[in-house]
Amino acid sequence: MNVINKFSVAPMMDLTDRHCRFFHRKLSEKALLYTEMITSKAILYGNTRKLLKFNPAERPLALQVGGSDPAELGQVASIAEELGFDEINLNVGCPSSKVKSGCFGAILMKNPDLVSKCVEAMKCSAKTMKVSVKCRIGVDQQDPSVTLPAFISSVSNGGADYFIIHARKAILSGLNPKENRTIPPLDYSIVKSMKEKFPDLAICLNGGISSLDVASNLFSQGFDGVMLGRASYYYPEIILSRVDSRLFGIGKPKNMIEVISELIPYIDEELDFGTRLSQITKHLMRAFLGYKNAKEYRRYLSENAFKKGADSKVLLNALSIIDPNYI
């Protein structure tokens, strides 16, 4: 069985960009971080270097790609490995209308043979990089007890190193992406049964995991890894600053004021290259939930980080507002 990272932060569109990931890495040395989903065509025919730019400090880092053309995905895997990504992940779980029309994402669960060919092409191109698949338990009217094991069997034959399974169905007609994150009921039992049915495959559970307590309990049930999305993003101190000590047994929870202060050199360097301060500070808005004056901190950043010429002094001024004690 492939050894996988036991904790990862889910790829989230408009959230897990490179500035977010740099911040998250300051909070956790061990968490596997993911890019936002990028389509294979955008990578091959767009501004590749800009789309795939990352700071080496972000590693371990996985690239999530959307696509269904094996040849294109093979090329993308080769590029990703050359650039230094640690893993490439095929998105077979996103339920938006865009991915449906583009023939990638959750709709591909209806075509496991094609997904298997895509994975095989990626594995052939990626000599050392892991290739994983993120999927749902099924789509629309599929019976997960029937279609999910068939999907996993087919795709694992293509060479997938492991599976990240969001424990909900994707409803492609009638629910928007936001609704698909909450309305379809969670079914951890079907994912657990896949681990029992395929004991030699590594299975990572995703969906509705709200705390490190829940994550720890899931490990005791036999899951190889957990992936948290919005809980990690919106509660960075409660989740990410404590994940190394809680789940990996190393270090101690990070001090958020110290972590934010450590971002100043990175911010100064990014501003010199034309990045706007607000592109970075938007990921720091929820850093101090539960602290005295946290509301004032957020207000100060909201009112000042967007101004022309705003620099790291704005963030330092915002930090000075924070009372290091909890409410």
Residues recognised as catalytic: 94
63: left (phi over 0), alpha (psi -120 to 50) or beta: beta
CA atoms of 248 and 139, how far apart (whole Å): 34
φ, ψ at 284 (rounded to 5°): -105, 5
Q: E strands along 93-194, which residues?
A: 130-139, 162-170
CA atoms of 66 and 41, how far apart (whole Å): 9
Type of residue at 296: E
**Cα 268-270-274 angle, rounded to 5 deg:** 115
Task: Report the 3 state secondary structure along 29-93.
Answer: CCCEEECCCEEHHHHHHCCHHHHCCCCHHHCCEEEEEECCCHHHHHHHHHHHHHHCCCEEEEEEC
φ, ψ at 231 (rounded to 5°): -60, -40
Q: E strands along the chain, which residues?
A: 7-9, 33-34, 38-39, 61-66, 87-92, 130-139, 162-170, 202-206, 225-228, 291-292, 323-326
